[in-house]
């Protein structure tokens, strides 16, 4: 049976010479959780994953798997399974042998009948039965992806590590594999740590998301928390498709004011003299009469999205995005007024630190 383990980072840092890739990170992954490390490329998420795997050694801090300090241990002694972005299938081994490979390692050597049974169990679950004798180069990208998953699933590891496993698939397959992954996670009840730069994947899959940037954890929480209450402007902009609209300005007469913008800021803005940023998600903007709307601009482009449409609107020098119902009529270069759907849908940030205020 699966024995899901916890993973704990205690002040883990990784430096390459003068460059700090990961800067004193604390993360706590509960047994059975699906946790995603999310961030743009170079944010340190892959280095973090590699340190859990033991492929890289932290310069500082310690890593615990299931309460055991594994910081100095080589990958082979951590009992983890990993799916690589390139799948890293052994090119000279058949699908069967690729999946059986972990079971042939000395420390885990499995008797033949049991090995066969476990491999076929996994291949049956992944629909790879017809391909057992094929070499990796003889199967499709999606099938390779499944083989890589199968190689991880064939044993009962403490933790599954997945490094952008879907990024080499085409759009349709990616969405399909995404739900299959979620299904597998629920079936196995295993701890999974997933690395991606795709916020859509992170949102749909995770119990918990760790947003990283510049080697630091920007925010850590459930997808819902992160989406609704981003801790800072980085997270606000990074999550959501498109990201949160940010209006920077100064509070004057109870409102945040900038070119074409006057958003009521009574509750937060009272007594603040410094710069302020108001964040509003595109779906939280509604149309208002152009002459007295809090946000006034001109329509730049209109994108039809099926169930609704996405407007890009020039407001001052900035571009604001807003979802509008299909019924509404807009034309390019037409003046348009916008307002927050309700005052509590506005998220306030300090302009200096970028940190959330409410």
Identify the residue among 40, 72, 141, 332 touching another protein (CB under 8 A).
Answer: 72
58 binds another protein (CB under 8 A): yes
Q: How many residues bind another protein (CB under 8 A)?
A: 36
At its nearest, how many Å lie between another protein and the CB of residue 245? 39
Residue 94 C-beta: closest distance to another protein, Å:
12
C-alpha 33/C-alpha 11 separation (Å) is 21
Residue 330, interface with another protein (CB under 8 A)?
Answer: no
CB nearer to another protein: give 91 or 306: 91
Q: Does 90 bind another protein (CB under 8 A)?
A: yes
Directed axis angle between helix 112-126 and helix 141-153, to 10°? 140
- Tokens, residue 4: 């899901």
Asked if 244 contacts 347 with a C-beta cutoff of 8 angstroms, the reply is yes
240 scored as a contact of another protein (CB under 8 A): no
- Pick from 65, 82, 195, 263: which binds another protein (CB under 8 A)? 82
CB of 22 to another protein, least distance (A): 13
Q: Tell the smallest beta-carbon distance from residue 76 to another protein (Å).
A: 5
Least distance in angstroms from the C-beta of 265 to another protein:
44
By CB under 8 A, residue 84 contacts another protein: yes
For residues 77 and 252, which CB has a smaller minimum distance to another protein in the complex?
77
- Which one of 57-65, 250-258, 289-297, 336-344 is the stretch in contact with another protein (CB under 8 A)? 57-65
The burial class, CB within 10 Å (0-12 / 13-18 / 19+), for 325 is exposed
Asked if residue 57 binds another protein (CB under 8 A), the reply is: yes
CA distance 62 to 119: 34
Per-residue burial over 263-299, b = 16 or more CB atoms within 10 Å of its CB, e = otherwise: bbbeebbeebeeebbbbbbbebbbbbeeeebbbbbeb
Q: Smallest distance from the beta carbon of 39 to another protein, in angstroms?
A: 20
Residues near another protein (CB under 8 A): 10, 50, 53-55, 57-62, 69, 71-72, 74-76, 79-82, 84-86, 88, 90-92, 101-102, 105-108, 151, 161
């Amino acid at each position: 049976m699966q024995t899901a383990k916890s993973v704990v980072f205690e002040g883990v840092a990784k430096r390459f010479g003068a460059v700090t890739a990961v800067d004193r990170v604390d993360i706590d992954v509960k047994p059975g959780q699906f946790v995603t490390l999310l961030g743009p490329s170079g944010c340190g998420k892959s280095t973090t994953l590699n340190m859990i795997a033991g492929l890289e050694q932290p310069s500082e801090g310690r890593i615990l798997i299931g309460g055991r300090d594994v910081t100095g241990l080589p990958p082979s002694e951590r009992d983890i399974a990993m799916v690589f972005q390139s799948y890293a299938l052994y090119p000279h081994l058949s699908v069967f042998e690729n999946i059986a490979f972990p079971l042939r390692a000395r420390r885990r050597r499995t008797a033949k009948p049991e090995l066969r049974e476990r491999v076929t169990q996994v291949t049956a679950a992944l629909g790879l039965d017809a391909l057992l004798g094929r070499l990796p180069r003889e199967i499709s990208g999606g099938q390779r992806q499944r083989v890589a998953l199968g190689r991880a699933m064939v044993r009962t590891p403490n933790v599954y590590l997945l490094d952008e496993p879907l990024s080499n698939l085409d759009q349709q397959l990616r969405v399909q594999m995404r739900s299959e992954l979620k299904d597998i996670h629920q079936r196995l009840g295993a701890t999974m740590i997933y690395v991606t730069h795709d916020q859509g994947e992170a949102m749909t899959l995770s119990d918990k998301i760790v947003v990283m940037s510049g080697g630091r954890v920007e925010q850590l929480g459930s997808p819902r928390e992160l989406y609704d209450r981003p801790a800072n402007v980085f997270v606000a902009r990074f999550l959501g498709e498109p990201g949160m609209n940010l209006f920077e300005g100064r509070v004057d007469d109870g409102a945040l004011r900038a070119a074409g913008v006057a958003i009521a800021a009574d509750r937060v803005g009272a007594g603040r003299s410094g710069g302020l940023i108001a964040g509003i998600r595109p779906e939280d903007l509604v149309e208002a009469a152009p002459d007295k709307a809090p946000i006034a601009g001109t329509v730049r482009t209109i994108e039809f999205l099926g169930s609704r449409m996405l407007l890009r609107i020039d407001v001052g020098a900035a571009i604001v995005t807003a979802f509008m119902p299909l019924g509404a009529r807009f034309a390019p270069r037409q003046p348009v007024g916008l307002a927050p759907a309700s005052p509590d849908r506005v998220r306030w940030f300090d302009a200096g630190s970028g940190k959330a205020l409410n």
